Amino acid sequence: MPGLKFNADTPLYSADAQGWRMDQFAALMDRLVARGKPIVFFVHGRGKEPGKSLKGGAFIEGLAVHKIERGYDTAVLMFNWDSAYRGLNVLDRERPLSHTAAAGAALGELLRRLQDYQAAHPQLARPALLVHSMGAIVVQRAIQDGHWPAIGPLFSAVLFSEPDADDRGHADWLEPLAQREHCYVTQNRDDRVLRRATDARPPGTQALGLGTAEPLAPHARYVDISNMGPLGQTDEDHEVFGKGAMNGQLHLCQFFTQALTGAAIVLDPASNVESVSRGQVYRLRQRSEPAAPCLKVPDLPA
């Protein structure tokens, strides 16, 4: 994919695969705002990026930016970090992990620019932040290393989709963020990618997105989407925000729609929640309505 390999000079991407420098952030935001749609900041996970999320992947379908833009009628700004695995070893986490500190610092710069932009445009609706898989570790490093601005909220919601961060000790970094932002964490025991994400992980830990018995961040909300059926094609269940991976589950689709478009997020036992455990783990109720408008799978680039 010529021109779509990681380039530290252009860590920002729009859906047309144009790379933007950090000092072009305000111009990129002006362009996104002019589209008149809810804005989503997207922090991708492991893979050959930005190509995977913009042009498709060799082992996982990818096209995440288009799934978000076309599936939810939003405008996406993707933050790109050096997340490639070694060669063809798709199970390698060690190499991308070695770049999360630098990525956290760059993410902090992006957030400071967002803070300045919001100060100059106080009437602008806050964007949503979708953090996928190993992108959660980039956010973790940004917080732990002091790069996340000590102000908030910057976002309408922060949604960690299938986070690959270690479950053990996650509350130590997530709670300070959840005290400033509305934070949601999906948990999916059926995620085949996360079940194989064991490389370079400390003994006795697992990916947070598989669920956890560890202490939770008190101000975060955890959304259990396990046992929703065979989600999507092989490995597509890891990009569960894609409507083709939702197995016709209406409540799941509505949750992501609310989180990504700035709407009020409903987690209510009277409507869409089957049970609540530990006071803050919400098990979504199954409701199969594959023909519902919410679940319409968008056309994606070939």
**pLDDT tens-place string over residues 249-274:** 999 999 999 999 999 999 999 999 99
pLDDT > 90: percent of the chain: 86
Residue 1 domain-assigned (yes or no):
no
pTM here is 0.96
**pLDDT mean over 136-149:** 98
Per-residue confidence band for 2, with pLDDT thresholds at 50, 70 and 90: very low
In 3-state terms, what secondary structure has residue 134? coil
Rounded distance, CA 59 to CA 70, Å?
22
Residue-wise burial string across 242-269, b where 16 or more C-beta atoms lie within 10 A, e elsewhere: bbbbbbbbbbbbbbbbbbbbbeebebee
Strands 19-20 and 281-284: unpaired
pLDDT of residue 231 exceeding 60, the answer is no
Residue numbers of the domain that contains 108: 12-295
Does a structural domain hold residue 71?
yes
In a domain, 261, yes or no: yes
**What is the dihedral angle through the alpha carbons of 272, 135, 226, 300, rounded to the nearest 10 degrees?**
80
Q: Is 233 a residue whose pLDDT tops 60?
A: no
Q: Is residue 27 part of a domain?
A: yes
- Asked if the model's pLDDT at residue 229 lies above 70, the reply is no
pLDDT of residue 186: 97
Residue 61 has pLDDT above 50, yes or no: yes
Q: Identify the pLDDT of residue 3.
A: 54
Q: In this model, does residue 236 exceed pLDDT 80?
A: no
Distance of CA 55 to the CA centre of its chain: 18
C-alpha to C-alpha distance for 264 and 101, rounded to whole angstroms = 33
Taking residues 187-198, what's their average pLDDT? Answer: 92
Q: What is the DSSP letter of 182?
A: -
Which whole-number Å values give the CA distances from 221 to 15, 110, 198, 210, in the listed order? Answer: 29, 25, 25, 15
Q: CATH number of the domain at 101, please.
A: 3.40.50
Q: Is the peptide bond before 301 cis (omega within 30 degrees of 0)?
A: no
Number of domains, the chain: 1
